[in-house]
A and B are shown apart, each in its own frame.
Chain A
Amino acid sequence: MFLYEKKLQYPVKIKNPNAKFAKIIISQLGGPDGELAAAMRYLHQRYTVPYGQIVGILTDVAVEELAHLEMVAAILYQLTKGLSPEEIRAAGMDQYFVDHTAGLYPASAAGVPCDMKYIGVKGDLLADLNEDLAAEQKARVTYDNILRLVDDPDVQDPIRYLRARELVHYQRFGDALRIAQDKLDEKNFYAFNPSFDKICPNGGCNH
């Protein structure tokens, strides 16, 4: 089960609301490389993985992504709190406002609602771990792009923290891929899917 702890993983304290920044940063809530998609990707990939170390990595990274989802939500909440309809209109947030008011709806910066098409659960350990490595890099790029567009230090600080975590997760998924490959037939990694094929007592593959 999951247990909620009433604190953010890292502080978010933004003095000046700014709807223009919120319009960009919302992509890390519900965009293609956002935190919601990341958490769902790892949580659902882990069930058929036969190696405890890799199940541990997928579980713990997924849970941290939920903490990051909450941090992104805190950034968006504080950036949009107390804005007048005039300020919302001036920032171009009126198209979002008409459907969601100041509520936090997971969507991309372009307004596309979050979609499970953003994630892959192939059920093949090497395919899924390679997707996860790419996903962490794509999320890192999105944070880099946000840092190119946002100049408020109160916003930059938690965004930099989130960016750094993508790099650490990339390292851990690299470890996971190494652990998986160490357990496979070195002559042909791809002849055997440990998440599905039965492990032969004599080693090697069974098809």
Chain B
Amino acid sequence: MSIINHYSGYGAQSKEDTDALTQRSKRCICKKCGGKLTTSLIIYDIYGGAGMELYCPHCQQTEFGVEPEIYEIAQYYVENFQFNYFLDMEENDLNEQLNIAKVADMLSWLFKNLGLLDHNGLKNTLPDYQFYKRLHR
């Protein structure tokens, strides 16, 4: 398998889809490691491909990503409140990353259902967010 990073389009995908993914790659980060995302073509061999996807080069995986603000809150929650959804796993970096991803997923669902998050990102600045950031530092 190969990855072509910064892939900008694929005939089989609609322009809306590729545009949305490109915008998201600029705004969102990996929900596991918090790293930057890229648009990529994942191909089995030089003759095939599944289309453009969001990809985390650090985690080496297809990754839809999360808003950075939500990631920070999820990271704070996992690190400070001993959250552990993966009890049968060894406590290591991967365990922490998976827990952050789990909380980030739940928070994203909450924000979306509260009407605070849509395909363009967060609609409003989060209340007390600056205060939270100071705490986190």
Do A and B assemble together? no
